[in-house]
Amino acid sequence: MIRRLLALTPAFALTGCGGAQSVLDPASDQAASVFGVWTLMLWICGIMYALVLAFLALAIWRARRGLAGPPLAEGQKSPADRPLLRWLTGWVGLVVAGLLVLTFGSFLVDRQLAMADQRNALTVRITGYQWWWRVEYDDPVPSRRFVTANELHLPVDRPVRLELEAGDVIHSFWVPNLSGKQDLIPGRTNRLLVTPRRIGQFRGQCAEFCGLQHAWMALDVTVEPQTTFAAWAEAQRRAPPAPATAQAVHGRDVFVGAACNSCHQVVGQPAQGQTGPDLTHLASRRSLAAGARPYSRTALDEWLKNPQALKPGNHMPLVKMRPEERAALVAYLDTLK
Amino acid sequence: MTSRVAAFGAVLLCLAACQRETRALTGQAAPSAPAVAPGELRAGGGLASPPVDPAGAAYEGNAFEISEGQRNYDWFNCYGCHGAGGGDIGPALMDDEWRYGGAITQIRASIADGRPNGMPSFRDKLTDRQLWQIAAYVRSMSGRADKLAASSRNDEMRTTPPTNQARPGPEQSDTSGGEVRR
């Protein structure tokens, strides 16, 4: 029984390795290459570790047996010296060979990443702020560019060139399923190429400590078929529908009349603030406040009630409004699909 | 034996210091003193009978509230008129001249009710707590806040020194009745 449980333990441990935020579940060419190097390293280091333990056990066993023999005289060589020298030479050879395989393996993968096919690449500019992501889809036609926040949609099987920038402090872009980490440095642009190969929903996370809410600086990543992506991008370029109900119209007036519009933008409305996340299609997103809560009207209401309670220290102030004003605002924001 | 008891006592004494300040993130401030009628104002001389609110002391001596006041000062655009404290189209806040009184209760009343010649009323825009926090920060600008509570580091690049280095000059206002006694 115990033996069976012991055999099952590694299997249980491995179930934690898949998922939406895992290096061990690659969904792009780049992540697959890095995963290849990682697997190679795991095998080489695992075998070396097992060998070290085996030799240690052997040495302990031999030493206990060897104590039984007569003691060595002055100047007499131990009969174990020659085989020991032979073993140690072999050991050095093994270490050198293992390191060479790892060096060449990482060199080849590095070359492969640097020489990846960039033709027909989509360009997305990602800017890190405390504590959210601004995502801008580039296009040769300026009117077809659009901005969203905390959400990255990518077409499958098409290379994407990510241009990474920072608006305040150093952040780090890390979507484990798609690529390794890349820092976002204020004042310079870092580039990262990703070619997604598997459709799915993944999670990115800031990987460089950037302040109080660093942990709640997540990025929802969706890899989807090219036609779905094109439809999504077209929808993002359009302004959201004008508010239809009386409550939503009131909510729009609250949004434009209270402090909201000094930081947030909603395309098609006189709200052009650029310091906070773009809210044009807020209600179509998966989460609120950079992954702090899954999107829902109740979560939105809770957030507006006091942003400092849900995500203490963040840069959105509590804006005073009456309960009916807040309800109207939530109703309006919920129409931004 | 004696040394062991002494060591145990020392540990107990150390533990007594292990108290962390609780920061009320959602808490509402206690209701403040009633608004001041414009008729009670006396430019240059503060209020004829300044209302004293004991709640002010808790904000004035608290580092968290003062730094939240600084963030609110930025967010609600006090900059627009008062600059980083040196003043612009609004009066300077980092000197010690107070047209309507320099006690925290009086500063709070000026923000909440507005003042003639341009200062709007923020009573409907800010929560009571935000009013107190901004008032505490404004007071710290001229070096009036507790040195241990005032910030040693500004959030962003400023033209003014950190508030814990501000040197209070001779205060030129009538705070006789408005000063919060501690």
Identify the closest residue of chain A to B68 by CA–CA distance: A313
Chain B residues near residue A318 by CB distance under 8 angstroms = 127, 130
Taking the C-alpha atoms of residue B121 and residue B139, their distance in angstroms, rounded to an integer, is 18
* CA-based nearest residue to A202, from A291, A79, A278: A291
Identify the closest residue of chain A to B67 by CA–CA distance: A313
Taking the C-alpha atoms of residue B119 and residue B134, their distance in angstroms, rounded to an integer, is 15
pLDDT at B173 over 60: no
Express as a percent the part of chain A with pLDDT over 70.
Answer: 93
Cα→Cα distances A161→A150, A182, A258, A307, Å: 18, 13, 38, 34
Instruction: Give the closest of A262, A309, A320 to B127, CB-based.
Output: A320
Chain B residues near residue A309 by CB distance under 8 angstroms = 25-26
Residue B137 DSSP one-character state: H
Q: What is the pLDDT of residue B180?
A: 40
Query: Which positions in chain B have a beta carbon within 8 angstroms of at least one beta carbon in chain A?
Result: 25-26, 71-72, 75-77, 124-127, 130
Contact B126 A320 (CB under 8 A): yes
Domains of chain A: 122-225 (2.60.40.420), 246-333 (2.60.40.420)
Of the residues A320, A321, A322, A325, the best mutation for testing chain B's interface (the one with the most B CB atoms within 10 Å of its CB) is A320
Query: Which positions in chain A have a beta carbon within 8 angstroms of at least one beta carbon in chain B?
Result: 259, 262, 306, 308-309, 312, 315, 317-320
Q: What is the pLDDT of residue B177?
A: 43
pLDDT at A207 over 90: yes
For residue A176, the tally of other CB atoms under 10 A from its CB is 24
Contact B25 A312 (CB under 8 A): yes
Chain A residues near residue B71 by CB distance under 8 angstroms = 315, 317
Tell me the per-residue pLDDT of A85-103, one tens digit each, with 9 for 90 and over.
898 899 999 999 999 999 9
Residue B172 DSSP one-character state: B
Instruction: Give the closest of A306, A315, A317 to B26, CB-based.
Output: A306
- Average pLDDT (B120-133) is 89
Residue B119's H or E segment, with its range, is none
Q: Which CATH superfamily does the domain covering B55-176 fall into?
A: Cytochrome c-like domain (1.10.760.10)
Express as a percent the part of chain A with pLDDT over 90.
Answer: 65
* CA-based nearest residue to A280, from A261, A253, A259: A261
Long-range contacts of A316-324 (CB under 8 A, 24+ apart): A316/A263, A316/A276, A317/A259, A317/B71, A317/B72, A317/B75, A317/B76, A317/B130, A318/B127, A318/B130, A319/A258, A319/A259, A319/A260, A319/B125, A320/B124, A320/B125, A320/B126, A320/B127, A320/B130, A321/A254, A321/A258
Strand positions, DSSP E, chain A: 122-129, 132-137, 146-149, 151-155, 160-166, 171-173, 182-184, 190-194, 200-205, 218-224, 265-266, 271-272, 287-288, 293-294
Domain boundaries of chain B, sorted by first residue = 55-176
Q: What is the ipTM of this complex?
A: 0.70
pTM greater than the 0.90 cutoff:
no
Tokens of A324: 């009916």
Minimum distance, in Å, between the CA of residue A97 and any CA atom of chain B = 53
Instruction: Give the closest of B25, B125, B126 to A308, CB-based.
Output: B25
Q: How confident is the model at residue A126 (pLDDT cuts 50, 70, 90)?
A: very high
Identify the closest residue of chain A to B64 by CA–CA distance: A313
For residue A27, the tally of other CB atoms under 10 A from its CB is 25
Whose structure tokens read 């009969």?
Answer: A79
Chain B residues near residue A314 by CB distance under 8 angstroms = none
Residues in a beta bridge with A127: A134, A165
Q: How confident is the model at residue A219 (pLDDT cuts 50, 70, 90)?
A: very high
Taking the C-alpha atoms of residue A308 and residue A302, their distance in angstroms, rounded to an integer, is 11
Contact A318 B130 (CB under 8 A): yes
Of the residues B21, B22, B26, B155, the best mutation for testing chain A's interface (the one with the most A CB atoms within 10 Å of its CB) is B26
* CA-based nearest residue to A275, from A134, A153, A109, A152: A134
Taking the C-alpha atoms of residue B25 and residue B93, their distance in angstroms, rounded to an integer, is 27
Dihedral sign, Cα of residue A34, residue A183, residue B67, residue A261: negative
- Average pLDDT (A242-250) is 91
Which residues neighbour A95 within 8 Å (Cβ) at sequence distance 6 or greater?
A: A48
pLDDT at A180 over 70: yes
Q: What is the pLDDT of residue B182?
A: 35
| φ/ψ of residue A182, rounded to 5 | -145, 130
- Average pLDDT (A275-283) is 92
Chain A residues near residue B122 by CB distance under 8 angstroms = none
Cβ(B42)–Cβ(B50) below 8 Å:
no
- Average pLDDT (A287-316) is 90
Identify the closest residue of chain A to B126 by CA–CA distance: A320
